[in-house]
Structure 1
């Protein structure tokens, strides 16, 4: 904008000077700077690279008016070149730092309230989605012992997302799929979209009644919208595959790793108590008794999910499998921008930040660059 304003002003003044009889050039066009600056494959201007100017006079310069006019044009042209150069250099620096991975701000009237445990990987998945898409939301931290904050709900798990205070979305994957459907199509209300993810009663492997949701990994869009959302041949199938992988496998590696030893279990619960919503007595009890209990439970989880004796190896392998699936030629699983699988995997891994398991993962896997890009992409803007 600033460079364009300078160009317009310089052009007006230059024309006034050139129109005076005391300053005439045989080749005035050749005197105007020709500028070409390359910016991510796009060319700006019409000349060759760098700054080039040349001029010839029809006769020896006579009179102060000519000298003044020529000096003005020369100085003004150079000033314009410097203005454009510095402006675009600053623009390129910002683009390089940000790598153009922020989703656009969305014009939406949704009022969102997220009921969560901060250290829950499923809640972290939802926050990653909301932050990436710049959807404003309020957080209600739920006390994990009493859960008074969700006593009004028959669904007793988190995350729960309330939309406009009236529509309740349950299950992290349903929340993400329903919201992605809404912002991708905008031709249905949240209530209408929610009907695409029916609640179903099922039994888990221990015979206990559980609630499941149909189609929860599907974004319900028309074919035209789907072609734009999933330009690659198998991109939709891959997104669903890795979203399921995050829920069915990756998330089960978190507890055995963060509670791997008594020391790590204590450090993990210290973090949970610090970040969660606990009373003073509850916090003390959770930190010491909870750490001991989860260290024991983590051993059972290791056996349940057939993990190796050193559970770190399963974590390393899972993370490296994920990085390998992205490939060397893509920034994200979604290509140049994160897709729902990127956001799900990042949300799960993020809950380990600040713990020994996270530091070990960063040191012994190839995930660091992708993870850093995801941090930038999901950076929360208040």
Structure 2
């Protein structure tokens, strides 16, 4: 709009320079007539009967060229400013696609939590900057302000709190793609549901957490082939409902593995000196026992490694031989979820055994590289 107005101003200036003097005087006369017809002349310093006649006389005397130059100069400067503003706005839109509109993101986490690792994988792959607040898993003072006592918690700015790893990922991805929605509107699409389970414990769940809230056109761009969206949602849920539950029984499979796992947890987590000692030895013993209960609860085999191997090979088989990732040439949300869950075992015996005894190595290496290099940060919705 501004650029169009400035171009019109330049044309006026050009016409002043090219027209005969008598035409210039008539043009000025018409312009001043328009001013007096549309507003108060005193507002423009044009009040008084002598102003109009003096200006017309100056135009006839050759001053019209100076006036035309003024129009051109003003129009040119205005066009420059309008063009500069247009470019800045365009760059801002480009930045919105890539960086999530400059959202300030702060994530409260345990580094070794698979659900937290899922969110980090998403943020890292898309190159979204974020701050980490490591939560002490014993006292949890860092999240005492929140009625939601689990991690991850993602704060958007100072006030908007996002809970549940899958909700966080779906909401952020929706925001990155859909230019017409703001984050508060998006998060309302994932309502919180509370209920009491069979054990009498209150449970919090979230509706629609594997859905992206997109228009039909946006959905067709992100999922151009039939079945892509359902496949992504299926395996995201599989990562939450099955794969995650294989981690603890495998990393705490024996007393030696339990101690090694807690040595890693203590080293990477936020513990005081006394807490670290008790966490390592008491925690390792407790998790060894709990892992046996988890094995029973989820009907795992006596050798829980076999369940891990089967799950990972099922995932690789679902990707197939003709795709680099489940998302095709680039990882989709299912790729990022599975990668995030599996990488919490890095440095432990369970991870080494998995890499040695399954077919996941090449996919995992590609995911590691894509995440490390923030390869998703170069994609915008228009290029997907």
Query: Which residue matches 1:77?
Result: none
- Which residues of 2 match residues 300-339 of structure 1 at below 5 A? 300-339=293-332
1:191 aligns with 2:179: no
Query: Which residue matches 2:260?
Result: 267
Q: List per-residue Cα deviations over 1:332-365 (Å, max 9, x = no partner).
A: 0000000000000000000000000000000000
> Which runs of 5 or more structure 2 residues have no equivalent in the other structure?
1-96, 375-384
1:255 to 217, 230, 248: 248
1:179 to 169, 172, 177: 172
> Which runs of 5 or more structure 1 residues have no equivalent in the other structure?
1-103
- Which residues of 2 match residues 156-305 of structure 1 at below 5 A? 156-305=149-298
Q: List per-residue Cα deviations over 1:294-319 (Å, max 9, x = no partner).
A: 01110000000000000000000000
State the distance in 1 between where 2:305 and 2:250 align.
6
Pairwise CA distance, 1:107: 5.7
Q: List per-residue Cα deviations over 1:273-308 (Å, max 9, x = no partner).
A: 000000000000000110011011100000000000
Task: Give the number of equivalent residue pairs.
Answer: 278
Query: Which residue matches 2:345?
Result: 352
Contact 2:98 2:176 in 1 (8 A): no
Pairwise CA distance, 1:228: 0.8
Query: Which residue matches 1:376?
Result: 369
State the distance in 1 between where 2:343 and 2:191 align.
29
Cα RMSD of the aligned pairs, angstroms, is: 1.1
User: Aligned to 1:241, what secondary structure does the other structure show?
Assistant: helix
Contact 2:100 2:176 in 1 (8 A): no
Query: Which residue matches 2:116?
Result: 123
Could you say which structure has the higher helix fraction? 2
Pairwise CA distance, 1:207: 3.1
State the distance in 2 between where 1:380 and 1:173 align.
23
Q: List per-residue Cα deviations over 1:233-258 (Å, max 9, x = no partner).
A: 00000000000000000000000000
2:147 to 134, 145, 154: 154
Pairwise CA distance, 1:154: 0.5
State the distance in 1 between where 2:243 and 2:99 align.
30
Contact 2:100 2:128 in 1 (8 A): no
User: Computing the radius of gyration over CA atoms, which structure comes out larger, 1 or 2?
Assistant: 2
Relative contact order higher in (CA < 8 Å, ≥ 6 apart): 2
